[in-house]
Structure 1
């Protein structure tokens, strides 16, 4: 199993172009099922989660070519509505297949999904919405057997603005009879990206990015070409890397609006950030300051996917920081590993109190989940000596060769097999 070796306390200096977003490409890959033909995706990231989705699509008869960040997907010859259980258990995002498979085939059999264990992420919101659109769902022996009775547009109010439930509902409703309205919809940029992709196909979706999305059902969708938006979490991770190690870095191919909450907190910590149209520059010259309070919230709040990386940064900040995790209840698995490196962190339920130390020290640590693993790599950048991060498979789910990205910025990070 791969490990990463991180040599600490080298100031960063360099430029990096951010690649396509994991959380945008996965629902879009599921959506390729809808047009019964070819889709071409540009700037698709090479991630293990993307590989898992490709394997699922190929298992049901899709043809896929993936080279140099260009992916060609042909879904014209679906051969099965049953998704292999072992593939579903690799990745939670396999749940996105429910909407498009039901829209196209009228039925799907799928097991409960796997993925990072960062706390309960029940799919009841997905199932409730699909039922409201006319889907009959039978749950037995760890499987969901779903069948469309009559697919009619309706008004759906989500009890929580779940990104996954919003996307799954959109993916089914585009082929429903009449109009569907999703109230209390998630507002994340990835929702807007899915709307853009679907509308390029010929769907009629509006309102993404607000709390109400309207979908007018259509009978047919077309061939499409689409460039995947830049990954805001990768961009945020690289910004924290710059703050952690110090120096002067430039990130290109980013959407500034998508990372405003992250930029705001980094400025609060003393980082100097210069914004341009689709790039920014981060400079740090002295020890960063603690941030009194950070709370994770649905977009446009501070993203839960940046909580672990930010905690690494606060571990070496001057003063005391408090981070409250409101989205997932078991997302502090990285804390014990940071403490192995000398961090001073106390946990009380969903609240972490971080007393900054002058420096961390390199250690042998283990990634327990995707973002927590990235946080340990960042901690290694700011630590004295060498850090070994084990279980890199978690990091590979969401970062396209994280060591190569960091090398572009002047870091010394090496993959050990």
Structure 2
């Protein structure tokens, strides 16, 4: 049996890196009062249809949807923001705080062709700042993304930012863009020929070189922004400047989800080929109201964990995964005695491995050396009768026997 295409086992040695990332991000997000939230991986299909947009690739091509035994339409979540918005509404979180700062980490699912850094089951770290329509909220979330990357000692990235305006401004621009593209229809790539009718803004994000040449000379969305949207974007840029966070304004930057407005941004790298986006996000002020909640402005981002791990794994120095102590016992009676010693080791946060083999003492000791442990605790009938324990140093081969009572009183392992 093999894993399904587009899925991957995360083995114990790899999980050390995943745990390291969580250890890094948790204090960074906690210090800015972001609290972890966990939502189900299955939701009603309608949630994503209403939020992501029917003209998007996710809805049209990529969702894992099915009918359950109750004939309900269920979808494995393809992204995190819609689920967070649903949780915010269904749990009436707006009654508790005017601003809710949330973060999540978990698996998402999209039916895509598996590629380098892209799986059908993938994991995202995301944050959502819900309840503020203030440029400083946009910059707060961007700052946290850069802090996390810098703390992980990855600095070969570029921040790109744009304003995609409001719905009515984008509607005007869509007409202008479509009129411009009409004369190049035959030269567009296959996906863009479809998008010109369904979601023309997504053509700006095409990876096709020929299409990008056409887009280069197209009118820019910023030309359709009114003074309020321009001022908001200018304030975001000014705050980024005050933090000395470098960025490039990319007037062709759009996000692949319909719920975004105003600020849109991506953090990119040149080390992943075509899958160059590490982090993507922006402002979504109408999503929660659109899903039946109160009018609640919000902004957030998501980082793809698999891509992030590809970028930092070569710089990551794995901690020793070997036990510090190897435990050897002789029979049923000595095994009962061993529980007390294991409890003490747990209380002192000392990593140990209990020998489970049914072999003689000599072979057990060979396994102790092979385990990479520094110490070996040996319990035989004599240790049980005298309430002692024999400790062998596996590096120097020194061995001594101490009273169990003394070991219990010791605040650290001797």
The structure number with the bigger radius of gyration is 2
**TM-score tier after normalising by the smaller chain length:** under 0.3
TM-score, structure 2 as length reference: 0.22
Whichever structure has more strand as a proportion of its residues is 1
Whichever structure has more helix as a proportion of its residues is 2
Higher relative contact order (CA 8 A, sep 6+): 1
TM-score, structure 1 as length reference: 0.22
